[in-house]
Amino acid sequence: MPPPYSTSIPGPLVDGRSIVLKGRSTKKAEGFAINLEYESKADKKKDIAFHFNPRFNEKCIVRNTMVNKNWGTEERGGGFPLQKEVPFVITIHVNSKHFKVLVNGRHFCDYKHRVSLNLVNVVSVSLGIGIDLLRFDGFSGSPSQSMTIPGPLVDGRSIVLKGRSPEYLERFAIDLLCESKGDIAFHFNPRFNEKCIVRNTKVNNNWGTEERGGCFPLQKEVPFEIVIQVNANHFTVLVNGQHFCTYKHRVPINLVNIVAVSDGINIDQFRFDGFAPVIPGGGGFVPPGVQPEKFNMVLPGGGGFVPPGFQPEMVNIGLAAKPPPPIYNPPVPLVTSIQGGIYQGMMISVSGHPHPSAKRMSINLCCGSGSKDIALHFDVRFDHIGDKNVIVRNHRVNNQWGSEERSISHFPFIPSSNFDILILCDAVAFKVAVNNQHFLEFAHRIMPPIGVDTLEVTGDVHLTLVRFQ
């Protein structure tokens, strides 16, 4: 969305809601502004409840309020955590008494309300930056986070949700719905304020008896994975790879056709395992030689995403094999084997966040543990030996490095901010997506790449999840 940009806020600014802006400044920008405004066409009034104005030329961020065209007293403290042309994330949390602002995941300032918020109805962004994302968290009017289930719930199938809970959220829910009757076959409701996960069923608008047993394995702002496995008599739920509970079916599940996640949760991925593949808008396909009932797929929509450049037809062999379990919060340096070796169509997911003062982190796809041969060296340099915000790609054979590749469209990594890297091995290249966007390709130099059987991750990074699929 090109600036200047303004849009209506999908509901009142009440305690617990947030506005998130991701973007980067232009090279020539001296500053930009994010404004939370009250606009009334009837009386041609435009007040600004909160003016957040980073100024590169002054190395400060000015906060203020404008009422009846008159500015109030500026607030300027807090340092200057932004750089030109470097991606940023600015989050404005709404509190009953103030706005709390985070920049790149770190608290920057609180700004006490100077006017009533109940009339604020517009957010605008001025010239000076490129906007990658503007998101409203916790608003009932925000986009629906639901998806049609691509087939009946039968024994052996699973629904997988990857995401994280924002700091302000007290609870969320995953519901398996019978759309035709309006019933909820399975309500899975983590409650941070009660430190429990409630399970229930709703039929004819009446809730059944709650089940609350079990520990509370979730934390705010920490990525999680929830897997709901379908059994003939019950659902089995895994949280972060560990068995959490079983829930006996209270209603026939053959009519369940929707999975929905309540507003506020940040969804990284919906995945349906064991379902015959139907790619929305794509007509569907079955990869050659793969049995549909064993096909594991990632569906676009509802938070799940196939990055541009990762076409389904690339994923055409090897998927019938059961992938190894995900690795949660592994230590760094990480050296782990790729069971059976890499193959065309394999995807490797690496999630985590760089250290606050990160200098460098690397991902290597190696031909054997401790091998000197590296098929892909993906080297992220925040500030290393004169390289700043550089990503070097290379290969190594017989202890000899090849020619480096350095060209990138932008630098997508931010210290202390979460990232998701997806590496796809296709017939001619490794294709890399970062944060659900196709980022670059690295043509195979070791052919064929099937000798790759080890993943290494080193450097200034905290890993939260590694998965082979």
Give the tens place of pLDDT for each residue, 27-84. Answer: 888 899 999 998 765 566 689 999 999 999 999 999 999 999 999 999 999 899 998 8
DSSP letter at 255 equals: G
- Confidence (pLDDT) at 265: 74
Contacts of 420 by beta carbon, 8 Å cutoff, 6+ apart: 268, 349, 350, 351, 434, 435, 436
Which residues are paired to 235 by β-bridges? Answer: 230, 247
- Confidence (pLDDT) at 286: 33
Listed in order, the ranges of the chain carrying CATH 2.60.120.200 are 5-137, 146-305, 327-468
Query: Would you call the peptide bond into 448 cis, given omega within 30 degrees of 0 as the criterion?
Result: yes
Contacts of 386 by beta carbon, 8 Å cutoff, 6+ apart: none
DSSP letter at 313 equals: G
User: Which has the closest alpha carbon to 338: 330, 348, 329, 328?
Assistant: 348
Work out the number of other CB atoms within 10 angstroms of the CB of residue 153.
24
Encoding tokens for residue 405? 């590749």
At 128-148, the pLDDT tens digits run 787 777 777 766 444 346 677
- With beta carbons less than 8 A apart as the criterion, state whether 123 and 99 touch: no
Between CA 180 and CA 274 the distance in angstroms is 24
**Token pair 């676009």: residue:** 300
Counting Cα atoms < 13 Å in the Cβ hemisphere of 116 gives: 2
- With beta carbons less than 8 A apart as the criterion, state whether 99 and 92 touch: yes
Long-range contacts of 389-394 (CB under 8 A, 24+ apart): 389/86, 391/440, 393/440, 393/442
Long-range contacts of 180-189 (CB under 8 A, 24+ apart): 180/255, 180/257, 181/255, 183/251, 183/255, 185/249, 185/250, 185/251, 185/253, 185/255, 185/256, 186/228, 186/235, 186/247, 186/256, 188/226, 188/228, 188/237
Which residues are paired to 125 by β-bridges? Answer: 5, 34
In what helix (H) or strand (E) does residue 354 lie, and over which residues does it extend? Answer: strand 347-354
Q: Which ranges of the chain have pLDDT less than 50?
A: 1-3, 140-144, 276-321
Work out the number of other CB atoms within 10 angstroms of the CB of residue 123.
21
- Confidence (pLDDT) at 304: 37
Between CA 418 and CA 161 the distance in angstroms is 17
Could you tell me the fold of the domain covering 5-137?
Jelly Rolls (2.60.120)
User: Which has the closest alpha carbon to 335: 373, 365, 375?
Assistant: 365
The DSSP secondary structure of 143-184, one letter per residue, reads PP-EEE-SS---TT-EEEEEEE--TT--B--EEEEETTTTEE
Counting Cα atoms < 13 Å in the Cβ hemisphere of 12 gives: 8
Could you tell me the fold of the domain covering 327-468?
Jelly Rolls (2.60.120)
Find out if CATH 2.60.120.200 is the number for domain 146-305: yes
- Confidence (pLDDT) at 447: 73
Counting Cα atoms < 13 Å in the Cβ hemisphere of 163 gives: 24
